[in-house]
Structure 1
Amino acid sequence: MADPLSADRLVAALRAEGVHVVEHDGWRTHNRNHKGPWGPVNGVVVHHTVSSGTISSVALCYTGYAELPGPLCHGVIPKDGSVHLVGNGRANHAGGGDPGVLSAVVNESYSSQPPAPHEHQGSGGAVDGNAHFYGFECVNLGDGKDPWPAAQVEAIVRVAAAICRAHGWTAKSVIGHKEWSDWKNDPRGPGMPSMPDLRSRIAARLAGPATTNSTPPPPSEEALVATASDVKTLFKTDNVLSSPDGANDPQGNAYWTAESYLRYGFLQDRTTQSLVKQLATKVDGIGSVELDDAQLAALADKVAAAPGLADAIAEKVAQKLADRLAE
């Protein structure tokens, strides 16, 4: 058992292990602590998102949805091997699980696998995993076909090792969601090691000192290019654009309105909202420091009709992304 790591200690531990960390605005105070305890912490749970695309997956995990508010994890690990921090504290990720598994993790008393779970969220004997586990959502469709790149798996190993090292835990403190709840099957798919094999890799890393050697590559600049293009397209259409990767937006819509893009489409750290506030003064009739839903929608309409402003937004958002990539 241990007290949760502070935000600074978590970031330091991850970077010492060679993890490429992306900190999203607000993550240090973004949590569900008002709904239940956070700690003592006992381990790490690895998940898959059942989604594709870094930007939309991070946005979903930061915000959540009506039935399950965010944060949905502490960090998102996309296919490029970066780690996007979206929450610090209690997060809606593990849900209810088996008390026998929790005991085995706390005591690190099992051999290759913890006992099979027989409980799940809402079942009579379930215990609250959100109080006890760090959670990392890894971008994967979860259909058993979507591949796991080596950089992504390596990032999972490094993230888990960083947290275990910081707490003095062994690799037996790391479990898959499927090992916690009998309702779950994550993580799975080609390229993802079995959980015993993943723990073996984590254990091998813990056997030596923390090192940043063979650092996973930083996020691809493809997102930067796509973002500039998408923003331009957005404001040159009828304010409706199909979602970038086929996923619903955080409100459950299959198509993203301009408002959805402004709120959720790029960096789920309020960067785009800050950008909109700055640009709002350039559009007649919209000058509020805080923009409500109606004002955001009105702004989108005005931006669509304002020559050059769509390009200005695209350039500024692209620069924000470039700054993030350079961190």
Structure 2
Amino acid sequence: MATPLSADKLLKALRDEGLHVVEHRSWRTNNRNHKGAWGPTHGVMIHHTVTSGTTSSVELCYNGHSTLPGPLCHGVIDKAGTVHLVGNGRTNHAGSGDDDVLQAVITERPLPADNEANTDGNRHFYGFECVNLGDGKDPWPTAQLDAIERASAAVCRAHGWSQRSVIGHLEWQPGKIDPRGFTMDSMRGRIAKRLGGDPSKPAPTAPTSPKESHMPLTKADVEALAKTDGIFKAPKDSTTYATNRHWSLASHIEGLTTNVRLIRRTQLAQVAAIQTLAGLVGKGVDTAAVVAAVERAITDAVITVDVDINSKEG
């Protein structure tokens, strides 16, 4: 049982645990406090978003949707291990759960089975949504699992709780399956080990605020990068080779992107051609027909790759 952390204390606790934290929009005043009490707090609850893509997942958790107003948690943990703070106070993440589970969390003892939904969890739990489809196939990168461990430990450390104060949504509310892809027992084991030592500070080069992580490169930065081992020299076939000693960073990235697309096109076109040839073996078709079929397969593959590359969220 504890008084909820203030926005400043929560932010400090997370960063002191070595996490990269982004403060999303007006997260400090984004809450559902008008719908009920926030606190006393008793634990941390872990979820998966059933979404992909960091930007869209963070916006969804900040705003909510037509049937469930936001915020949907306190922080969103993306696949790179960044924590995006989206709410401060009561949030729509836990719903109604089992009071026996809550009592076990309060007394920090093993959890009973969750077979009832009679207690307001939004009042008592910090919630972290983790970007994952929750289908059992979407991977959990090492950086993301590490961030879940650190974020949970940070809140527990701030309140003086043990790892037994961290639960999954599936351990609270009957019918829930999140988080799916790792076990909460294994995560609690990691948290216990972390709480046995001092917090790990961020590496000196890690960004410590949204402003630092989104600062544009200056002209001097670009020139300094360009001179590093000459890796940004303009290629000999570039129109700027004779007049510009160093290629711009933007041009270098554009060139890399073009090359990657070309490799991807070639790879898929070759696969399509092989599949087409395999389908024509033993059918008695003439050489011209084979060539025409292969050319069509390559054309279709290239078009498909262009559409695929340009339509997917980055």
TM-score with structure 1 setting the length: 0.63
Retained in 2: the 8 A contact 1:54–1:78? Answer: yes
Residue of structure 2 equivalent to 1:212: 201
Q: Deviations over 1:93-149 (max 9, x none)?
A: 000000000000000022xxx1110023xxxxx100000000000000001110100
Residue identity matched to 2:164: K
Q: Go from structure 1 to structure 2 and tell me whether the alpha carbon gap of 1:217 and 1:48 turns closer, same or farther (over 3 Å shift).
A: farther
Residue of structure 2 equivalent to 1:166: 158
Unaligned runs of 5+ in 2: 217-249, 255-309
Q: Go from structure 1 to structure 2 and tell me whether the alpha carbon gap of 1:215 and 1:118 turns closer, same or farther (over 3 Å shift).
A: farther
Equivalents in 2 of 1:103, 1:187: separation in Å?
21
Q: Secondary structure at the match of 1:185?
A: coil
Superposition deviation, residue 244 in structure 1: 3.2
Retained in 1: the 8 A contact 2:19–2:202? Answer: no
Aligned residues: 218
Alignment map for 1:96-111 (pairs within 5 Å):
96-110=96-110
Q: Deviations over 1:62-87 (max 9, x none)?
A: 00011100000000000000000000
Superposition deviation, residue 215 in structure 1: 9.1
- The CA RMSD measured in Å over matched residues stands at 2.4
Is the counterpart of residue 244 in structure 1 residue 313 in structure 2? yes
Residue of structure 1 equivalent to 2:112: 115
Q: Deviations over 1:229-263 (max 9, x none)?
A: 9xxxxxxxxxxx97837xxxxxxxxxxxxxxxxxx
Alignment map for 1:51-62 (pairs within 5 Å):
51-62=51-62
Higher RCO (CA-CA < 8 Å; seq separation 6+): 1
Q: Secondary structure at the match of 1:131?
A: coil
Retained in 2: the 8 A contact 1:13–1:162? Answer: yes
Equivalents in 1 of 2:74, 2:56: separation in Å?
16
Residue identity matched to 1:116: A
Residue identity matched to 1:212: K
Q: Go from structure 1 to structure 2 and tell me whether the alpha carbon gap of 1:215 and 1:173 turns closer, same or farther (over 3 Å shift).
A: farther
Q: Deviations over 1:270-291 (max 9, x none)?
A: xxxxxxxxxxxxxxxxxxxxxx
Unaligned runs of 5+ in 1: 121-125, 230-240, 246-327
Residue identity matched to 1:26: S
Is the counterpart of residue 49 in structure 1 residue 38 in structure 2? no
Is the counterpart of residue 148 in structure 1 residue 140 in structure 2? yes
Q: Which runs of 4+ in 1 moved over 2 A?
A: 213-219, 241-245
Equivalents in 2 of 1:161, 1:134: separation in Å?
12
Residue identity matched to 1:118: N
Residue of structure 2 equivalent to 1:74: 74
Equivalents in 2 of 1:80, 1:148: separation in Å?
10
Superposition deviation, residue 182 in structure 1: 1.1
